[in-house]
Every structure is written in C-alpha cells, then in structure tokens.
C-alpha cells in the first residue's frame, strides 16, 4: 500500500484482498456483516470515498471479513497496518509460489505478530536439522 493512498483507498484494497482470500461471493460477505450489497459496492466505489462510514458499517465490515474490532479505523489511519482475517486459512500447497508464501508471512507478521512468531517456531521445529546431525 502506498503512503499516498487515502484511508478509504487502503480500506478498499484490504477489503478486496481479504474478500478474495475468503473465496466467496460478495453477497455472502455482505450477509454475514449484515450489510447491504449496495453498501459494499459503495465502499469499493471511488465516488464515495469522501463519505463517512457509519459505526454500523465499520462493525459490519469487520464482522463480514472476520477482522478484529477497530481494524477498519486502523486501516484508514495507519498506512502500514494490515488487517488479518481470523477466518482465512490460507493453505500453502504445492502450487504456491515463493512470493505467495512470503506474502502470507508478511501479512501475518504485520497483522498478528504473536501468530507470526508461533509460525516461525513451528517451521523451525519441523525443518531444522536434528541436533548433532
């Protein structure tokens, strides 16, 4: 994300990224967050970037994408913040590129540092050579 992007541009980019990772239709995402499909369309439409999001819409977005409370505001205020969905289980399979894996780890490190450290620890245990070997 560019530091020159507005908070709404960053929010839209993160919403699109996370929704794509959920691999579901926008209608399903909207329903879970108790948002109208029109609200989600407006969120993604640059013509509406100057409109204030209501507290209910912020909560709806966070619920729809399995984000933590306050993540919408953090995205709009902090260009370096990356929200991480509690639901997205980005499986890394044999088709994943090194860039995919690195991107996943970068997102994890930025959004959930404790989980990132746990992932590194598990990787270290699984693939470290045995002691004395």
- The pLDDT of residue 3 is 53
Instruction: State which CATH number among 1.10.1740.10, 3.30.470.10, 3.30.450.20, 1.10.260.40 fits the domain covering 1-86.
Output: 1.10.260.40
**Contact indicator for 7, 75 with CB cutoff of 8 Å:** yes
Q: What are the tens digits of pLDDT across the range 61-111?
A: 999 998 888 999 999 999 888 888 877 655 555 556 777 777 778 877 887
Name the nearest CA neighbour of 75 among 13, 10, 18: 10
Q: What span, in angstroms and rounded, lies between the C-alpha atoms of 74 and 77?
A: 5
Give residue limits of the domains in the chain.
1-86, 90-133
55-64 helix and 37-44 helix, angle to the nearest 10 degrees: 90
Query: What pLDDT score does 58 carry?
Result: 93
Q: Reply yes or no on whether the pLDDT at 9 is more than 70.
A: yes
Q: What angle in degrees, to the nearest 10, is found between the helix axes of 37-44 and 7-22?
A: 130
Q: What percent of the chain has pLDDT over 90?
A: 23
pTM of the model: 0.63
The whole-angstrom separation of Cα 24 and Cα 16 is 11
């Amino acid at each position: 994300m560019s530091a020159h992007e507005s908070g709404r541009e960053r929010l839209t980019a993160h919403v699109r990224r996370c929704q794509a990772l959920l691999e579901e239709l926008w209608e399903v995402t909207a329903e879970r967050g108790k948002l109208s499909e029109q609200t989600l369309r407006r969120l993604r439409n640059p013509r509406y970037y100057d409109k204030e999001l209501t507290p209910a819409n912020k909560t709806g977005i966070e619920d729809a994408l399995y984000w933590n409370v306050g993540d919408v505001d953090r995205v709009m205020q902090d260009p370096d913040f990356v929200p991480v969905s509690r639901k997205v289980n980005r499986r890394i399979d044999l088709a994943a590129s090194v860039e995919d894996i690195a991107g996943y780890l970068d997102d994890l490190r930025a959004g959930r540092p404790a989980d990132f450290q746990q992932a590194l620890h598990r990787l270290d245990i699984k693939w470290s050579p045995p002691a004395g070997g």
